[in-house]
């Protein structure tokens, strides 16, 4: 990158030199961060986790706005169903000094963003829920380090022996698809002689950090239940024994900067039993 040269002999310094240095720092950060997430111009660098329990709360963190990294102070609000979280520019100045010409000026510009909780989008506001988080890259880095080859993105998984589950002819095995950001998808078409049981086991390095529950299509209006355990065991319940079943389920192996919600529950029925867990 460009630099200000340091030359002996009484080198004159001007305010434009500081501007030059600051601009080079911004360009360097922008080159690094946009290289990591080239499709995004704004994203969360760290922190800024929010929860909704008794109140809406956002932890402090750092936000990249497309040109520079800005600090975001923590904030909390009384919950309102009509409001949403936004990030808004919050530029202030401080450190007032008297200059040689007797004028006074604030010489520090604090370039920050603040969290706003509004019913409509404020001027220059960025919807909080729309921001990607750079922490998601850790899932990609971990998955890449555990691959057996450099570009192995489709994994064939065998059906559990003696489970009563068998592939449809065109899909002789389950497929575990992986993209370059650590997103995984289980893809399968199978028949069953039993509606419940273990269907396969995920290989080490491709298992979620916690148990997951999803659904699959079994030919009826009530979908089957798919359960993926952190130990790699994959179970189904509610599979059709009269026709094919279809699985298309996506998951992440690592969950970071998650959003925590406390929601009331009413009515409904209990979980399907007998899945071997």
The answer to whether residue 276 scores a pLDDT higher than 60 is no
What are the residues facing 44 on neighbouring strands?
Answer: 63, 133
Residue-range domain boundaries for the chain: 15-132, 137-255
Fold of the 137-255 domain? Immunoglobulin-like (2.60.40)
Please write the tens of the pLDDT for every residue from 201-231: 988 778 888 889 999 999 999 999 999 998 9
Please write the tens of the pLDDT for every residue from 69-91: 889 999 999 887 788 889 999 98
pTM reported for the whole predicted model? 0.49
What pLDDT score does 152 carry? 40
Query: Can you spell out the DSSP letters for 135-162?
Result: GGHHHHHHHHHT-SSTT--EEEEPPPTT
What mean pLDDT comes out for the span 142-162? 60
Q: What is the total residue count of the chain?
A: 277
> CA-CA distance, 252 to 29, in Å (whole number)?
28
Band (pLDDT 50/70/90 cuts) for residue 65 is confident
What's the token pair of residue 108? 């520090």
What mean pLDDT comes out for the span 116-140? 76
The answer to whether residue 31 scores a pLDDT higher than 90 is no
Which residues, other chains included, contact 53 with Cβ-Cβ below 8 Å and sequence gap of 6+? 260, 262
What mean pLDDT comes out for the span 24-46? 72
What pLDDT score does 247 carry? 95
Please write the tens of the pLDDT for every residue from 240-273: 999 999 999 998 876 655 556 666 766 666 555 5
What pLDDT score does 110 carry? 87
């Amino acid at each position: 990158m460009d630099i200000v040269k340091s030359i002996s002999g009484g080198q004159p310094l001007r305010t434009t030199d500081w501007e030059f240095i600051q601009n080079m720092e911004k360009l360097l950060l922008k080159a690094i961060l946009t290289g990591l997430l080239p499709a995004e111009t704004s994203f969360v660098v760290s922190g800024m986790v929010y929860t909704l329990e008794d109140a809406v709360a956002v932890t402090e963190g750092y936000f990249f706005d497309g040109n520079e990294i800005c600090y975001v102070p923590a904030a909390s609000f009384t919950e309102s169903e009509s409001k949403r979280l936004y990030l808004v520019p919050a530029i202030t100045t401080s450190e007032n000094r008297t200059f040689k010409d007797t004028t006074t000026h604030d010489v520090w510009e604090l370039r920050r963003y603040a969290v706003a909780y509004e019913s409509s989008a404020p001027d220059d506001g960025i919807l909080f829920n729309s921001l990607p988080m750079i922490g998601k890259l850790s899932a990609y880095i971990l998955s890449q380090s555990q691959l057996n080859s450099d570009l192995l993105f489709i994994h064939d998984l065998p059906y559990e022996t003696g489970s009563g589950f068998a592939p449809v002819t065109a899909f002789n095995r389950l497929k575990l698809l992986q993209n370059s950001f650590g997103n995984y998808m289980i893809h399968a078409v199978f028949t069953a002689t039993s509606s419940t049981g273990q269907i396969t086991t995920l290989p080490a390095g491709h298992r979620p950090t916690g148990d997951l529950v999803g659904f699959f299509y079994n030919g009826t209006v009530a979908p089957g239940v798919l359960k993926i355990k952190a130990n790699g065991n994959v179970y189904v319940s509610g599979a059709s024994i009269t026709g094919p079943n279809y699985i298309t389920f996506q998951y992440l192996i690592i969950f970071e900067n998650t959003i925590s919600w406390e929601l009331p529950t009413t009515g409904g029925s209990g979980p399907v039993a007998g899945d071997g867990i």
